[in-house]
Amino acid sequence: MSAPSCVFVVESGTDVRLVDGLNEGLRLRLLCRRIRGGVEVTRPPRRETLIEIGPSSRLAFAAWAAVRLVVLRRNYQVVIVQGYALAALVANLMGRLLRRPVTMLVCSPIEVYYRCREAARDPKKPFRNLEYRGLQLLAWLNARVGHHYVVLSRYLADVVRAHGARTAIDVVPVYGVDLEVFSPSDRPRPSPKPALGLPSTGAVVLFSSRVAPEKDADTLLLALKALRESGTELWVVNRSGGYREFAQRAAQFGVSNYVLVGEAVDPQSELTALYQAASICVQASREEGLGFSPLEALACGTPVIATAVGGLLETIIDGQTGWTYPRGDPRLLAEALREVLANPAEARRRTELGRELVRARFERSMVFDHLMEVIRSVIERRNARGAAPDP
């Protein structure tokens, strides 16, 4: 059976691990909005991939994508579109016009993330009520004209149902966790530290999230300050595209000397070593669709502390697979960090349970096999309703 042909419409940049996984089961072409000051795909895909870059304006990109979907209509059987914003609305409308199935791939709750700007109060990313209402409207419209969602978590399924979706929703946690890449070290945990430029003494906390209002780096930095002032030797490492901003925030809180930052590392070849060297991984999100960093950390045998929000509630279960705390509470985060460091045997127990969870529900090949089954069924259902013949 030949691989289905697919156009993937990317409005806000995507991870190469998703592209590589899609490439294994589909004949793939990407239509990407230009990301000024950033990248459309985090790294070059392993397989040669057709990637077209459209305008940076969201409105212009949506119009450009509509034209490309018409021009390419004989070259694809299915469209996957990122999220449920403007590009998704256009893709869904073109799918109806051209009689092609469209799947909305929802990795994050767009309007919920945007609402986090209110609490963050970052002048660079202000909260504007009109924009927020616009996102809500787009979500509502997509729920009415769209036919299918793939979401990463049960939480995200509830989010799109709240928009009024009455269509099919499949929960598939793409891109999963590659257990051949993310695995525990066979060396004692402190040994990799010097080679990675990490301090040889004290505990290392890995915060691998990008710097954004929904990721809440400030709460972690406040917890770091409290622990340092109480005499705990603790370091925080951030390797992300926003590491410069993370360093600036650390300076504002007076903890620059205890923060190590640098360029984002390759998740396929370099990130595992950081997880293995870290004492703890913290996911401090105000909101989270699923959260892959905690899952990768658990796969590497690293204890996890996360906020009790969104999709994290499905994976980081307090007392079982990690520690949780209420969002935005640096005091309780500091207490959780102390508890993990003071109870290594309990940390190992919870981490092992977490690793079993990752193996059972999030293993990469299993996840992508499920996604390919879903995509094929979407195409078959459309063909059964009398769509245009397969190209």
Residue-wise pLDDT tens digits, 237-254: 998 878 899 999 999 999
Interval 258-285: pLDDT, tens: 999 988 888 877 899 999 999 999 999 9
Token pair, residue 182, equals 């993310």
Each residue's pLDDT tens digit, 274-313: 999 999 999 999 999 999 999 999 999 999 999 999 999 9
Q: Contact 161/109 with Cβ under 8 angstroms?
A: no
Please tell me the predicted confidence (pLDDT) of residue 188. 60
The count of residues in the chain is: 391
Yes or no: say if 135 and 114 are a contact pair by the CB < 8 Å rule. yes
3-state secondary structure of 366: helix
- Residue 112: count other Cβ atoms within 10 Å of its Cβ: 21
Residue owning tokens 């070059």: 44
Could you tell me what percent of the chain has a pLDDT over 90? 84
Question: Is the domain covering 194-361 a CATH 3.20.20.80 domain?
Answer: no
Whole-number Å distance between alpha carbons of 317 and 50:
41
359-386 in b/e burial notation, b at 16+ Cβ within 10 A?
eeebbbeebbbbbbebbbebbeebeeee
Read off the pLDDT band of 1 (50, 70, 90). low
Task: Locate 232 and state its tokens.
Answer: 């705990």
Report the alpha-carbon distance of residue 149 to residue 258 in Å, rounded.
43
Label the pairing between strands 203-206 and 168-171: unpaired
Query: Which residue shows structure tokens 């508890």?
Result: 339
Q: Identify the CA nearest to 23 among candidates 138, 249, 149, 175.
A: 175
Q: Where exactly does CATH 3.40.50.2000 map onto the chain?
A: 5-176+364-384, 194-361
pLDDT band at residue 387, thresholds of 50, 70 and 90?
Answer: low
Mean pLDDT over all residues of the chain? 93
- What does pTM read for this prediction? 0.93
Please give the pLDDT value at position 378. Answer: 95
| Separation CA 165–CA 141 (nearest Å) | 9
Backbone angles phi, psi at 274, to 5 degrees: -70, -45
Above 80 in pLDDT, residue 187? no
Euclidean distance between CA atoms 301 and 105, whole angstroms: 30
Residue type, 166: R
pLDDT grade for 336, boundaries at 50, 70 and 90 = very high
Pairwise CA distance, residues 211 & 225, whole Å: 18
Kindly state the percentage of the chain with pLDDT values over 70.
Answer: 96
5 and 77 in contact (C-beta within 8 Å)?
Answer: yes
User: Taking residues 155-160, what's their average pLDDT?
Assistant: 97
- Is the CB of residue 308 less than 8 Å from the CB of residue 314? no
Mean pLDDT of 8-33: 96
Instruction: Fold for 5-176+364-384, please state it.
Output: Rossmann fold (3.40.50)
Nearest Cα residue to 235 out of 271, 265, 261: 261
C-beta atoms surrounding 241 within 10 Å: 16
Strand 259-262, strand 148-151: pairing: unpaired
